[in-house]
Structure 1
Amino acid sequence: MRNTRIASLTGIGAVAAFFSVLCSALTSATATSVSEASAARDPLWQYTHQTPRWERCDAKNPAAYQCATLKVPLDYSDPGGRKTDIAISRLRAGSVKERRGVLLLNPGGPGGPGLNLPVGPELSLPPAVKRHFDLVGFDPRGVGRSSPVACGLTREEQDAEPAYRARTFAKDVRRARAVAAKCRAREGDRLRHLTTRNTARDMDVIRAMLGEEKISYLGFSYGTYLGAVYTQMFPRRADRFVLDSAADPAAYGRGMFRSMAQATELAFARWSTWTARRHATYHLGRTPAEVRKTFWDLVARADRRPIDDNGTPLTGDGIRAGRAMFFRVREAAERVAGLKRTAEGGKPDPSGTPRPAPAPSAFARDVPPDNEAASAWAVLCADTRASWPRDPERYRGDAIRDRARYPLYGDFASTIKPCAFWTPGSEPATTVDDSSSALIVQNEWDPQTPLAGARAMHRALRGSRMVTVAGGEGHIVHGTNSCADRSTTLYLTTGRLPAGDLTCRASAGSRRNPVRGGPGAGQGDH
């Protein structure tokens, strides 16, 4: 009996095992057929339905802060072809009950890594926002940990904007040509696909992979343009979009640099007036004209004999390159007065000492040293190649004319750039013109994305509202003005835009340097 019982159970087990294998095979076959059918209907199915392997980003941050790497098509017109990596991070919402979805973050650039934004000290989101959203950071394609572009650029080749000088122009042309040639030699056809439109598509893959019908977004500087391109391409998948320090979408490209030159002259005029009223403090002149003369005399003196700027010789062009300081009148007055004292035999001005950059997280190390510059040019030039003349003499003429019109920065903005020799992108840039309901926040005195550009973005996004910080100085509003921050928080947590455009007053004495800048931000934006 016992043996019969055992035999019966063994037989039953064998039959069960057979059906288990059969069912498994059928399930696998069904899943495969479903997958193949889905892929046939949607060529991006393999990307939007991938399962990321989340891991702790690093030991210094909470274990809840996790990172993963996704695969996306290098060329979205050929989704079965080459793939590229996108590094993403996530910090889950603090409340399951209040959770709205995901808030995708971008720090600006192009070329700005955003992987660390969810936990970075530069982002100070209030608890209410953190309860409502998973904070999702990512390095855009070609940046940081996302298959970083590298061209082998020297430190000199990474200098974005030399001043125009007749005696050095031929050298500047060779350098711009060399940057483009090095990137083409190292990266080849990949350069064509490092575009803002493809980054927007990557954002939509992130959205789908996370299982979200829509995404919300907080983008700074160039990130405002990226956000606007996303809303243009995927209007039904955009939820609550905040654009901080907005770029003019129609001027993106060469016009972006030239708009900075015009805005710098306005800021310089304002600074001259402000400083003249404080001659007793800074001793730079009793009238705006005297202040301007003092500054230009200092520039001429530094061109004849560079000023010792804490061990670094500072030329007149070097002083002009720091044009962003004039958007913060007090800092500029202190800086110019300090340089003047040094030039007259005093001690070097300590305000010119560069501050060390924060160390990257363990997940974001091993990035090529020229990646930030290389990726910035790669995206900007691929996006806007059509706006850059090929003839170097066009740049010479424009630089001479623009320096006469905008003496502080005109020649920096208009002289030759690597984009003159770049490989065109895979498709034209996006025309931004839709009814998206974004919230735009903007300082009146912004050195990188001038107020006029933000107003142009506001007009292009017809359903948007704009919060302007009157008297607000510097690049990026986030964390510097409580009035503007309240509007941002209310919109993100409730979805309610202001009934109309708002004006906030600058907060006295509050200024930190959050997030990062846009193109050219390294040029003296202290």
Structure 2
Amino acid sequence: MLVRYRRTRSVLTVGAVTAALAALAPVAAFAAGDPLRRYAQQELRWERCEAGGPAGFECAKVRVPLDYADPAGRSIELAVSRVRAGSAAKRHGVMLMNPGGPGVQGLTMPVEMEPLLPAEVRDRFDLIGFDPRGVGRSSPVGCGLTADERTVHHPYRDSTFAADTARARSVADKCREKAGDVLPHLTTRNTARDMDVLRAVLGERRISYFGYSYGTYLGAVYTQLFPQRADRFVLDSALDPALAWRGSFRGWAPAAELAFTRWTEWAAARDAGYGLGATAAEVRRAYWELIAHADATPVPTDGGPLDGDAIRSGYGAFVHPEAVTPWIVALRAAAAGGPAAPALPAGEVSDNAAAVTWAVFCGDSRSWPRDPEQYRRDAVRDRARYPLAGDLGATVQPCAFWKPAAREPATAVNNDVGALIVQNEWDPQATLAMAQGMRRAMHGARMVTVAGGEGHGVVVAGPSCADAGVTRYLTTGRLPAADLTCGAS
């Protein structure tokens, strides 16, 4: 399905043009007397990032305040990278990038994104990557966490809740002991402030931006703090800023139920091939019988036995019916005595990434209850309402014990800054409902929804029907006249 955009023309008087330019042209550097001015006066020393890497992939270091409330105090170092615009004549400016997380390194993002962007976009922007504060090569931190402590999803069971609470408290205690002087400053607001220092160091009046997943929230916070310095912002797979962060954890469950229901209907229509049931109700029953069996006798897989809770934790796969159905079939066969099923795919989280993840989640918002019993009640309630994953996002987390509590309130995003939000209909992490929340918060934005689109990521996943709109916006600055929906191929 082709997406058509209406081209509009506008006529401005000389006075209107002058006023518009005044409103949209803050100075690149900071004013005299601003304590951040000394940071803006840094000179970046660009060097080839890696001896064997691409010649055009350059890296540098920039210093920023650890605490923006005390910019004359301690500073930290950030690692920054760039791939220059392909055409000096067509160059529009810089495009900063963030790959999500929080806690994910972004230094290599320019070379990773370059092949995904059309030539007309690459010609116009220096692509700027950076490891956010505390991450990777940017003054990294760690908490010394075990693999279990680095995991976000833990099921609720009454028999294990005391141990779950002890684990959450241990994470908070370890982080405070290992990096308690730095972690309170690893927040989204401070990373957005770092971006603005980087803007000034680069000599730019405004920045463009591409953010994915958590990076959409970071971009939205930047637009709220520095609205006049935001140029062309693309937010891929957006999170609802009103839910940061306790609400985001709990928001995964209702979306999981929708995807699960869609899957049961899909599998029922293909019962001849998969044998899970001829109706959605029969497929649903087959799945929950598998979960009950696995709770009693864990199912053998290539990565070790899985109990019912472990199988449920793979709920995100239900947005891909064609991929998840053979796995469910294999698990049922293994449970019946057949060969071991494929292991549940799982990525390894480093101690550095986990430390920053918890620092951001816990330090961004004061929405986390401090009473463990509140988490117990929420987990029981959410599991009853959303059986597939309700407890996984609602149970106790380290933020219940994080000290100090968030120094600043969560950023209330509510502005008219232009941005383009692109979103798959079936996204297990940045759900459609969350992206719609971002759209409500950013009144000047437009949203392109990929109907039937599956998975986490639109632009980052490769060609889609949203590409033409993204290219048009980045090359011209013009947003669609209204929100749009296009069909997945």
Fold conserved between structures, TM > 0.5: yes
Counterpart position of 2:380: 400
Determine if the alignment matches structure 1 residue 473 to structure 2 residue 454.
yes
* SS of corresponding position for 1:118: helix
Opposite residue 75 of structure 2, the aligned amino acid is K
**1:189-212 Cα distance to aligned partner (Å, 9 max, x none):** 322211111000000011110111
* SS of corresponding position for 2:64: strand
Deviation, 1:403, is 0.5
Q: Distance in 2 between matches of 1:105 and 1:310?
A: 37
| Cα pair distance change 1:461/1:401, threshold 3 Å | same
* SS of corresponding position for 1:257: helix
Opposite residue 433 of structure 1, the aligned amino acid is N
Identify the range of structure 1 (46-55 vs 436-445) with the bigger mean alpha-carbon deviation. Answer: 46-55
From 425, 439, 449, the equivalent of 1:458 is 439
Deviation, 1:216, is 0.2
* SS of corresponding position for 1:458: helix
Deviation, 1:124, is 1.3
Q: Structure 2 unaligned runs (5+)?
A: 1-29
User: Residues 414 and 441 of structure 2 are in contact (CA less than 8 Å); yes or no, is this contact kept in structure 1?
Assistant: yes
User: Residues 244 and 410 of structure 2 are in contact (CA less than 8 Å); yes or no, is this contact kept in structure 1?
Assistant: no
Q: How does 1:324-335 map to 2 (within 5 A)?
A: 324-335=316-327
Opposite residue 395 of structure 1, the aligned amino acid is Y
From 303, 312, 322, the equivalent of 1:320 is 312
**1:282-303 Cα distance to aligned partner (Å, 9 max, x none):** 1111100100010011111111
Counterpart position of 1:380: 361
Identify the range of structure 1 (170-179 vs 495-504) with the bigger mean alpha-carbon deviation. Answer: 495-504
Counterpart position of 1:433: 414
Counterpart position of 2:158: 166
Q: How does 1:244-259 map to 2 (within 5 A)?
A: 244-259=236-251
CA RMSD across the alignment:
1.6
**1:75-96 Cα distance to aligned partner (Å, 9 max, x none):** 1111110111111100000100
From 84, 91, 94, the equivalent of 1:102 is 94
Q: Structure 1 unaligned runs (5+)?
A: 1-37, 358-367, 508-526
* SS of corresponding position for 1:97: coil
* SS of corresponding position for 1:119: helix
**1:496-517 Cα distance to aligned partner (Å, 9 max, x none):** 111111111012xxxxxxxxxx
Q: Distance in 1 between matches of 2:183 and 2:346?
A: 32
Determine if the alignment matches structure 1 residue 308 to structure 2 residue 308.
no
Counterpart position of 2:370: 390
Q: Distance in 2 between matches of 1:322 and 1:106?
A: 26
Larger radius of gyration: 1
Q: Distance in 1 between matches of 2:47 and 2:392?
A: 44
Deviation, 1:273, is 0.7
* SS of corresponding position for 2:170: helix
Q: Distance in 2 between matches of 1:95 and 1:492?
A: 15
From 471, 479, 484, the equivalent of 1:489 is 471
Counterpart position of 2:112: 120
| Cα pair distance change 1:198/1:172, threshold 3 Å | same
Q: Distance in 1 between matches of 2:191 and 2:135?
A: 11
Determine if the alignment matches structure 1 residue 445 to structure 2 residue 411.
no
**1:222-263 Cα distance to aligned partner (Å, 9 max, x none):** 111110100011011100000011101101111001110011
* SS of corresponding position for 2:111: coil
Opposite residue 154 of structure 2, the aligned amino acid is P
From 28, 53, 62, the equivalent of 1:70 is 62
Q: Distance in 1 between matches of 2:210 and 2:113?
A: 16
Identify the range of structure 1 (485-494 vs 422-431) with the bigger mean alpha-carbon deviation. Answer: 422-431
**1:360-388 Cα distance to aligned partner (Å, 9 max, x none):** xxxxxxxx94011111010110001x211
Deviation, 1:355, is 7.7
Counterpart position of 1:340: 332
Q: Distance in 1 between matches of 2:259 and 2:84?
A: 42
* SS of corresponding position for 2:112: coil
Q: Distance in 1 between matches of 2:468 and 2:432?
A: 20
Q: Distance in 2 between matches of 1:249 and 1:353?
A: 30
Opposite residue 185 of structure 1, the aligned amino acid is E
Q: Give aligned pairs, total.
A: 458
Counterpart position of 1:418: 398
Q: Distance in 2 between matches of 1:475 and 1:123?
A: 19
Deviation, 1:125, is 1.4
Determine if the alignment matches structure 1 residue 132 to structure 2 residue 109.
no
User: Residues 39 and 46 of structure 1 are in contact (CA less than 8 Å); yes or no, is this contact kept in structure 2?
Assistant: no
Determine if the alignment matches structure 1 residue 299 to structure 2 residue 291.
yes
Deviation, 1:311, is 3.6
User: Residues 161 and 417 of structure 1 are in contact (CA less than 8 Å); yes or no, is this contact kept in structure 2?
Assistant: no
Q: How does 1:40-59 map to 2 (within 5 A)?
A: 41-59=33-51
* SS of corresponding position for 2:305: strand
Deviation, 1:327, is 1.0
* SS of corresponding position for 1:72: strand
**1:48-87 Cα distance to aligned partner (Å, 9 max, x none):** 1101222211134211101111110001111110111111
| Identical aligned residues as a percent | 60
Counterpart position of 1:517: none
Deviation, 1:316, is 0.6
